[in-house]
Amino acid sequence: MADEDSLVSRKVAPEPELAPYQIEAARSSRSKCRTCRRKIEKGKLRLGILLEGPFGTGYLWHHLACAARQRLEDVEAAYAQKAFGEGLKVPPLSELQTLEEKAARARAERKEPPFVERAPTGRSKCKHCGEPIGKDDLRVALAREVAFGSQVRTSAVNVHVGCVVDEIDTEDCATDIDGFGAALRQNSDDASLAEEALAAIGVLDDWPPSDK
């Protein structure tokens, strides 16, 4: 039986200090990527970024590729610190830097809402009413504020032409009614689609409705 002194020493032994970064193959499929919010499958490379909070210290996990696209500085720091076990096959840093460059170009080229386009498939759903948007139907992209913990981000959501007015009237919609028509024409690739959508929406020409 262990003596009392050894039991006490085990109780008060300090926990091992965690490194600022950890790159590893996911040991299970239970963690979620903090960048894309999708599950990290077992065996996939993931980057852990150390977080010290009021409830303890631990890693926030990201797919390594997702981290490269959004948090390249952390990936570069992890590589500089060799934050991965010997024998783990990791991609060259130059490959991950290329991912970030492509993501940056895509962000620069991304269209700003509002804009209108024809749905390329019938798989998408209107973010206002929840009903499917048929293939080749007009769909309008509006800006919506989405809360992630203490942060608020603005993302584009697709809605039916007939749902535009009701969606703009919601609290979370970040698309202004003022200048909507001009913005839709400017941001849409096809001017004729913009005019078709505006004709269908119609009521925006007299917003807010006058009391008669």
CATH number at 92 reads 3.30.1740.10
Q: Look at residue 212 and tell me if it is in a domain.
A: no
The four Cα atoms 131, 135, 138, 142 give a dihedral, to 10 degrees, of 60
Tens-level pLDDT at each residue, the chain (212 residues): 444 444 444 554 455 688 999 999 999 999 999 999 999 999 999 999 999 877 788 999 999 999 999 999 999 999 999 999 999 999 999 999 999 998 888 776 778 899 999 998 888 899 999 999 999 999 999 999 877 666 778 888 999 999 999 999 999 999 988 889 999 999 998 999 999 999 999 866 545 444 44
User: Does any domain span residue 188?
Assistant: yes
Q: Is residue 62 part of a domain?
A: yes
Q: Are residues 121 and 99 in the same domain?
A: no
- What is the number of structural domains in the chain? 2
Indicate whether 97 and 57 sit together in one domain. Answer: yes
DSSP structure class, residue 39: B
Domain boundary among the residues 79, 108, 137 is at 108
Contact 74, 67 (CB under 8 A): yes
Query: Is 4 within a domain?
Result: no
Q: Is the peptide bond before 14 cis (omega within 30 degrees of 0)?
A: no
Q: Which domain holds residue 96?
A: 18-108
Angle, helix 180-187 to helix 191-201, in steps of 10 degrees = 150
> Do 73 and 142 reside in the same domain of the chain?
no
Same domain, 103 and 131: no
Q: Is residue 9 part of a domain?
A: no
**Phi, psi (rounded to 5 degrees) for 115:** -150, 165
